[in-house]
Structure formats: structure tokens, C-alpha cells
Amino acid sequence: MSATATPSNDAGTTDDRSKEQRLKEYLLERAEDGEMYFKGKFIAEDVDLSPKEIGALMVKLRDSAQELTVEKWSYTGATTWRVEPA
């Protein structure tokens, strides 16, 4: 079999973007009625991401998401994030 017979893997910026978009949409939906507080490990299954991926994406969203206000709230065993619609 040749190397071209294997399916392409889009791991990279396209994959990162879809993960970021998926998390952003989840947060927009959950924070629709006001602020929400969460730890990545508690929403990881809902968005099909690891807590580590969520933490990295939250830092990106804090700077890029115009529709959300993202704040690193506290740290007790894991970072707690505060999110509300902008």
C-alpha cells in the first residue's frame, strides 16, 4: 500500500479552530442567561476536549471572543473560569 492510501489527518490549525469554535459555541449557549463559572475538567466530556485543551483554548478565547467576557476566576485544584455574554 502506498502512503497516499491513508486518510488525511487535519490535526493542526484547522483542528484547533474547530475545537475553539466548539468550545465558544458551548460557552455562548450556557452563558446565554448570564454568567457561569466552571472548571475545565467538569465540561470536558460535554465539549469532547481534555481539561488541558480547554485551559489553552480559554486563554485564546479571553483575547479573541468578542461575544464573551472570559475571566480566570480562581485556582483550587484547577482553574475556575468565569464567562458571561459581552
Mean pLDDT on 40-66: 95
What does the H/E/C string look like for the chain?
A: CCHHHCCCCCCCHHHHHHHHHHHHHHHHHHCCCCCEEEEHHHHHHHHCCCHHHHHHHHHHHHHHCCCEEEEEEEECCCEEEEEEEC
Mean pLDDT on 63-69: 93
How does pLDDT run across 11-24, given as a tens digit for each residue? 444 566 699 999 99
The pTM (predicted TM-score) of the whole model is 0.76
Mean pLDDT, all residues of the chain: 86
